[in-house]
Amino acid sequence: MSFLEIMLGIFEGFGITAEVTFFGLLYAIPFALLAGVLQHFARGLGRWTVTAVIEFWRSSSVIVLLYAFYYSLPAFGVYLSAITVGSMVLGLNGGAYASQSVRAALQALDRGQCEAGLALGLSRFSVLRLVELPQAIRAMIPTFINEAIQLIKGTALVSLITLTDMTFRAKEIAQLSYNPVEIYTGLLLSYLILCYPVTILGRYLSTSYSNTGVRINEL
Amino acid sequence: MKQQLISRRTVLTACAGMTTLVASSPVAFSQTSQSEILRDGKITIGIHNQAPWGFKTMDGNVAGVHPDMIKAVLGPLGIKKVNFVIVEWPALIPSLMSKRIDAVASGMAITPVRCDQVIFSDPDLAIGDGAIVRAGNPHKIRSFEDIVKNERLRIGAGRGSTNAEHAMQAGIPKDRVLLFEDMQSSIAALAAGRIDADIESTATVISTVNDPNLKGKIERAIPFTGLIKDGREVRNFAGIAFRAEDSQLRDLYNLGLAKAKLDGTVKAIFARYGFTDAEIAPADATAKNLCPDNYR
C-alpha cells in the first residue's frame, strides 16, 4: 500500500471528523458565550448553578464522558446516536473551557466602559450587547481558535464509539496492512493539514479585528 | 454601583435553557429486540475487525467465520439483512448490552464471567492459545512456562481476551502482560520490541503470520503449550453472544446451528477459513456446560 493510498484511505474518514467538529462547534460556541456571561453576572445560587454546569463539563475526562453517554445512558432508556454523543461531549467540554475566556475577557474590561454606557441611559443588557461583548469577543478570538483546533484534534476520540472518522480509518487500514510507521505518520499529517488552515484563519481574524478594535478605541 | 443587574431569575431561566439545549438533541429509544429482529429480518452484528473471526476486507466487505455463520444459520429463518459494526474488542459486550448491536459474532469465547452479562449460543469452534514471536523466535518461547521462568520476557495480549486471562492463570505476573486494544497495536509493539510474544488464539495467530505484509517479520511459536488444567490444555470455545433477554433468538440460532452442522454448511465455512476437524467444538461442549452456574 503506497503512502498516497494510505492518505486517501484516511481521508475517507474526513466527513465524520468534519461533521463532529461542525456539530461540536454548534454546542461549544453558544454554551461558552452563555455560560461565560452568566458566570460573570450571576451571584449566589445562580452563580453556583452555572459554575456547577461548567465544572461538570470542564473537570471530567472526555473519554469517560464519551463512554458514559454512549454505553451507560441506554440503560436508562436514553439512546443518543454516536454523532450526537461525540459532538455534544466534545463541544460542551471545549465550550466549558472557552466560557472561562469569555468570563476573563469580560472581567478584563475597564469598568468605565460599562458606567459610560449606563450614563448614556442604555439598559444593562444593551451595555452588554453593544459595549462589552463586542470588545470581549475581539479579545477572545485567539483563545477561541485554540479551542476550535483542540476540538478538531479531540474528534480522534470518537473512533472509540464506532464512528468511522480519520483515526478509525487509520486503524482499519493498520489492521489490514500492519504498517504502523506509514499509517500513523499519515494520520499525523492529516490532522496537521486540517488544523493548520484553522490556525491561519485565526491569525487573519485576530489581526483584522484587533485593528478595528484599536480604531474604535481611538475614536 | 449595583453589581447584580441581571436578575437571578434570568440566570436560572438561562440555566434551564442550557439544560434543554443538551437534552433536546435527537433522542431515539432503541426498540430492537428478538421479536423485531425476527419480524423485520434485520440484525446488527458487532465484530472486532480481526481475521479470521470477523473482519473488513480490502474491498470494504465483511468476512469472517462468525459473520458467515450468522448469515448461514439465521438466513433460512428469514433474517436476510445483516448489518455490521466494527467495535473495539473491550467494547463489544457493552455495545451489546446497551443495544448498539444485537449480537457479537467475532470469535468470542464462552466463559462464566461473560455469561453473567450476556447469553451464548452453543460453541462451534474450540481453539487453543498460541504465540506470535519475532522471526527466528530469539527467546525460544515454547510455552507459558518458558515465559514465567524468564523474568525479562514481556508479553502482549488482547484487552479483555480469554488468552490474556489464561496467560495470567499460567503464572505470568500481571506487570509483564501488556494489554492491547487490537491486533495491529500488538503487532506494532512486538515489532518495536516492547513485547517479546503476543498471545492470541491459534486461529488469530495463523491468519496473522500468514498476512503477506508481515512476511519475514514475525512467526508462530511452534510447538506452543498453553495453560494446562486437569492435565489438559485449556481451549477457548467460541460462540455467538446475544442479549440476556433475547433467549428465544439464541434458541432459534442453536436449532439452526445444529441443522447446519448436520448438512455440512458449518464444515464448509470452517474450511473457507482454514480450520480443521480438530478445531470443531465437540458435541458435548454446550454453552450450558461451559457456564454451569449461570446459564440462562
pLDDT value at residue B31: 46
Distance from CA of A180 to the nearest CA of B (A): 6
Position B225 pLDDT exceeds 60: yes
Cβ neighbours of A15 (radius 10 Å): 12
Indicate if B267 and B208 belong to the same structural domain. no
Model confidence at B3, pLDDT cuts 50, 70, 90, reads very low
pLDDT value at residue B18: 57
ipTM: 0.75
pLDDT in tens, chain A (219 residues): 789 999 999 999 999 999 999 999 999 999 999 999 999 999 999 999 999 999 999 999 999 999 999 999 988 888 899 999 999 999 999 999 999 999 999 999 999 999 999 999 999 999 999 999 999 988 898 899 999 999 999 999 998 888 999 999 999 899 888 888 999 999 999 999 999 999 999 999 888 876 555 555 554
Give dist(CA B154, CA B246) in Å, integer: 41
Indicate if B217 and B135 belong to the same structural domain. yes
Residue at B144 is within a domain: yes
Which H or E element spans position A103? helix A82-108
Measure the CA angle with vertex A159, ends A59 and B65; round to 5°: 140
* Contact predicate B187/B200, CB 8 Å: no
B198 DSSP β-pair partners: B132, B156
Of B233, B249, B271, at which residue does a domain stop?
B233
pTM of the model as a whole: 0.81
Indicate if B229 and B260 belong to the same structural domain. no
Per the structure, the complete domain to which residue B145 belongs is given by 129-233
Residue A174 has its nearest CB partner, among B25, B85, B184, at B184
Give dist(CA A115, CA A113) in Å, integer: 6
CATH fourth-level superfamily of A3-209: MetI-like (1.10.3720.10)
* Contact predicate B64/B55, CB 8 Å: yes
List CB contacts of A65: < 8 A, sequence separation 6 or more. A89, A93
Residue at B153 is within a domain: yes
Cell readout for A50 is 452555572
The count of domains in chain B is 2
Indicate if B146 and B223 belong to the same structural domain. yes
Distance from CA of A71 to the nearest CA of B (A): 6
Indicate if B86 and B69 belong to the same structural domain. yes
Give dist(CA A18, CA A218) in Å, integer: 40
List CB contacts of B70: < 8 A, sequence separation 6 or more. B43, B45, B82, B103, B105, B240
First-to-last alpha carbon distance for chain B, in angstroms, is 71
CB contacts, 8 Å: A71 with chain B: 91, 94-95, 97-98, 100
* Contact predicate B287/B122, CB 8 Å: yes
Residue at B19 is within a domain: no
Indicate if B203 and B279 belong to the same structural domain. no
Indicate if B136 and B190 belong to the same structural domain. yes
Contact A124 B56 (CB under 8 A): no
Give dist(CA B167, CA B109) in Å, integer: 15
Indicate if B135 and B190 belong to the same structural domain. yes
Residue B99 has its nearest CB partner, among A30, A44, A74, at A74
Cell readout for B284 is 458435548
Indicate if B248 and B110 belong to the same structural domain. yes
Of B190, B208, B233, at which residue does a domain stop?
B233
Region of A121 (left: φ > 0; alpha: ψ -120 to 50; beta: rest) is left
Indicate if B118 and B244 belong to the same structural domain. yes
Residue at B218 is within a domain: yes
Domain-by-domain residue ranges, chain A?
3-209
* Contact predicate A128/A159, CB 8 Å: no
Residue at B7 is within a domain: no
Contact B26 A47 (CB under 8 A): no
Give dist(CA B87, CA B95) in Å, integer: 8
Is B8 an 8 Å CB contact of chain A?
Answer: yes
Indicate if B253 and B213 belong to the same structural domain. no
Indicate if B138 and B116 belong to the same structural domain. no
Residue type present at position A25: L
